[in-house]
Structure 1
Amino acid sequence: MIYYKIHYLMAAMYSLKTPLAFLFLILLSACTSNFITTLPAEKNTTFKKNERYINQYAGEKTYPITCQQDCYTPRQELSCEINQPATQCHYIADQIRPSLNTGFAVKWLGHASFQLTTGDNQHILIDPVFDQFDWPVDVAFKWSGGLYRQQPAQLSDTELRKTNAVLYSHLHYDHFNKTDLASIGTKPTYYVPLDMADYFPSGGYNITELPWYSQQKQGELTIHSVPAHHFNSRYLIPFYNDDEQALWGGWIIEYQGHTLFFAGDTGYSPHFKDIQQRYGDIDVCLMPIASYHSEQYPKWYRYVHTTPEDALTAAADLNCKVMIPWGYGNATWQMGDKSSHSAMVRLLNMHEQMNSSVPLYILNEGDVIAF
């Protein structure tokens, strides 16, 4: 189904045909309607309960492996200002870059934000958040002095103007910041999960909403929406919580038979195996490894976020040819983890303990790698 948002008030004022009405119409027209395409869902692929979206595999979870000891032993691959807990680190070890000939070049901007360049010379942004939190959460954390990060890698105006598409995984403030939209502009197509377009400001944005397991062409690319095990709410603290009225998910970008997977925020669940069964082995996997620890809510945090060992298990489920982790570092938020780089230390230790065959490629914020 394709539909367009219409300013009904503008139409009503036009019908009055008075000078005041025309003046109001001119002023209001500056807030241009967005153009929204909503794709239909396949049967039994997107799930709701009491009009709220739910995870495909809801309920109690068990996890294949949990780090029990030597989780945060300092690593020689990391140069850190402080080793325990690991803080202000830089990955310094030599790495072997897999030769996959995918056409994808990946730049990690920090936290969950990536810039991709594809084989058909398109420029894609994933979960771009260039500053801190969006209003009003930004104000709240400025007052509290907590959960702030260093400035992430910035893109120039020229780079932003080259952007062809923007993909958002969900509405949480560290993944979707409305103030960035004006900088990115209306040229790109914005791809979002179902019912997320309502959260965009007016301004002439071209938005495509996708249910899980749907796809849309973007030049020579095919963009696939896939499940994640998470949740979605947009708090106007402390006034309002929309409570799962918009879907969440991950993305697969396909180019000439090669695939790049962005998991979004997610806990571990069988949906990773489902994705592999549908799309085959994944070439490049961008996997979250942080925000799994909370003294107050340890079970809940892991339920909706992957530990480093969960991410390695998921990457094995997907048969990833290379895994790029994200969610750690200086340009991320310390959201429940022991330190800014503790997740990376745990990942390197667990990769050894699990004898994992998943190839890792570690980026520092701002790094670019082509596969």
Structure 2
Amino acid sequence: MTDQSERTVASPRPAGEHRTWPRSFADRLTDPLPMPGLRDLVRLARECAVRPPSSSLKDVVKLPVEPGPLPEAAPGTVAVTWAGHASWVLRIGGMTVLTDPVWSRRIPGTPARITPVGVPWSLLPRIDAVVVSHNHYDHLDAPTLKRLPRETPCFVPAGLGTWFRRRGFEEVTELDWWEAAELDGVRFDFVPAHHWSRRTLTDTCRSLWGGWVLTDREGHRIYFAGDTGYGRFFKDIARAHPGIDVALLPIGAYAPRWMLGPVHTDPEEAVRAFQDLGAAAMAPMHWATFLLSGEPPLEPLMRLRAAWAEAGLRRAALWDLPVGGSRVLPRTG
């Protein structure tokens, strides 16, 4: 791949085009896969690191859940609503876009969600588009997608289009890193992440993974990171997409670090990523929903707030929303 400093912004590709992809994207990995061997499994069991300590689960009742009405999707409005985990309802360019929609109570391999979905499905407006970061079950949920009309435009990573087309979706746009497509005046740029993909035992890295930058006609930008570890890509994204208004960044599922460090940012790394991006505001995600790892449920938010203060960042720029909460980007001019 060409160094990002040599890149120009890509022209949009045709929506819904069928493309041929390599059989594997393993060459895009930036760290070894977090797939524990026997010795690692023994270590996980010894450290009791697969799930949070049982003593910390009493804090689940303290997790922030405050469902509220969705902001209006007027053409000049830019708003984000956290439905939980990596699922957001984005209002940009007069459109309503879902990110990594997971409305199910359970996903394979983990206990049921510990907080309710922040936006009841029945209260969603018409969905104009869906973006998906990668194919892990906590980001790609078949029962939720089954609820959508099959004509809903879907923007997905390279290699994942077949999964959607087999389920009847009619307009599926697959993109490689640093590629883009447009829909009704909103530009969808697919950008790199430090992560991986797998949905079954035989499809490791058969599809790509990444984040999305959504830009409207007025130049407002929302960056949705999906799932990622910390690394060089945040500065690359900042150079390619300056002036990000709000960065939706993951802060949870990070313990133990010896296993999850390469693929999941911890709260302190999320703050560093925010600074690398040069964004105006940050909204944390990927916590308070599923018990995917060993940290206590409330710890990600507490550590994030501490790291934010230590970095001397403006408190108003941290949009630490409750599940179901919304923020509207202030109008300028």
**Which bracket does the TM-score occupy, shorter chain normalised?**
0.7 to 0.9
Contact residue 126 and residue 167 of structure 1 kept, 8 A? yes
Which residue of structure 1 aligns with residue 116 of structure 2?
151
Instruction: Provide the C-alpha distance between the structure 2 equivalents of 1:90 and 1:148, rounded to a whole number of angstroms.
Output: 12
Cα 1:211–1:187 shift into 2, 3 Å: same
1:37 aligns with 2:17: yes
> Percent of pairs identical after alignment?
28
Residue in structure 1 matching 2:157, options 190, 193, 207: 193
1:268 aligns with 2:230: yes
Shift of 1:90: 4.9
Instruction: Provide the C-alpha distance between the structure 1 equivalents of 2:311 and 2:205, rounded to a whole number of angstroms.
Output: 35
Q: CA deviation digits over 1:291-322, x for unaligned, max 9?
A: 1112xxx3220110001010000000001100
Which residue of structure 1 aligns with residue 173 of structure 2?
208
Cα 1:36–1:281 shift into 2, 3 Å: closer
Cα 1:278–1:38 shift into 2, 3 Å: farther
Aligned residues: 282
Contact residue 97 and residue 128 of structure 2 kept, 8 A? yes
Shift of 1:56: 6.0
Bigger RCO (CA 8 Å, 6+ sep)? 2
What is the DSSP-based 3-state SS (H/G/I as helix, E as strand, rest coil) of the residue aligned with 2:247? strand
The amino acid that maps onto 2:249 is M
What is the DSSP-based 3-state SS (H/G/I as helix, E as strand, rest coil) of the residue aligned with 1:106? strand
Cα 1:203–1:57 shift into 2, 3 Å: closer
Q: CA deviation digits over 1:230-286, x for unaligned, max 9?
A: 000002xxxx33110000000000012111000110000000000111111311100
Question: What pairs up with 1:1-371 in 2 under 5 angstroms?
Answer: 36-38=16-18, 51-55=24-28, 57-58=30-31, 86-90=59-63, 103-118=77-92, 120-134=93-107, 137=108, 141=110, 146=111, 148-157=113-122, 159-160=124-125, 162-200=126-164, 201-235=166-200, 240-255=201-216, 256-294=218-256, 298-329=257-288, 332-356=289-313, 359-371=317-329
Contact residue 106 and residue 112 of structure 2 kept, 8 A? no
The amino acid that maps onto 2:305 is L
The amino acid that maps onto 1:183 is R
Bigger Cα displacement from structure 2, 101-110 vs 173-182: 101-110
The amino acid that maps onto 1:351 is W
What is the DSSP-based 3-state SS (H/G/I as helix, E as strand, rest coil) of the residue aligned with 1:305? coil
Unaligned regions of 5+ residues in structure 1, if any?
1-34, 42-47, 61-81, 93-100
Contact residue 64 and residue 323 of structure 2 kept, 8 A? no
Unaligned regions of 5+ residues in structure 2, if any?
1-14, 34-54, 66-74
The amino acid that maps onto 2:197 is N
Instruction: Provide the C-alpha distance between the structure 2 equivalents of 1:173 and 1:84, rounded to a whole number of angstroms.
Output: 23
Contact residue 78 and residue 90 of structure 2 kept, 8 A? yes
Instruction: Provide the C-alpha distance between the structure 1 equivalents of 2:162 and 2:176, rounded to a whole number of angstroms.
Output: 15
Instruction: Provide the C-alpha distance between the structure 2 equivalents of 1:214 and 1:220, rounded to a whole number of angstroms.
Output: 16
Please tell me the root mean square deviation across aligned C-alpha atoms, in Å.
2.8
What is the DSSP-based 3-state SS (H/G/I as helix, E as strand, rest coil) of the residue aligned with 1:184? coil
Instruction: Provide the C-alpha distance between the structure 2 equivalents of 1:354 and 1:186, rounded to a whole number of angstroms.
Output: 45
What is the DSSP-based 3-state SS (H/G/I as helix, E as strand, rest coil) of the residue aligned with 1:174? coil
Shift of 1:152: 1.1
Instruction: Provide the C-alpha distance between the structure 1 equivalents of 2:248 and 2:262, rounded to a whole number of angstroms.
Output: 19
Contact residue 86 and residue 340 of structure 1 kept, 8 A? yes
Instruction: Kindly indicate which of the two structures has a greater share of residues assigned to strand.
Output: 1
Q: CA deviation digits over 1:152-201, x for unaligned, max 9?
A: 124444625x1010000000000011111221121320000001122234
Instruction: Provide the C-alpha distance between the structure 2 equivalents of 1:327 and 1:51, rounded to a whole number of angstroms.
Output: 26
What is the DSSP-based 3-state SS (H/G/I as helix, E as strand, rest coil) of the residue aligned with 1:299? helix
Shift of 1:133: 4.1
Cα 1:59–1:334 shift into 2, 3 Å: closer
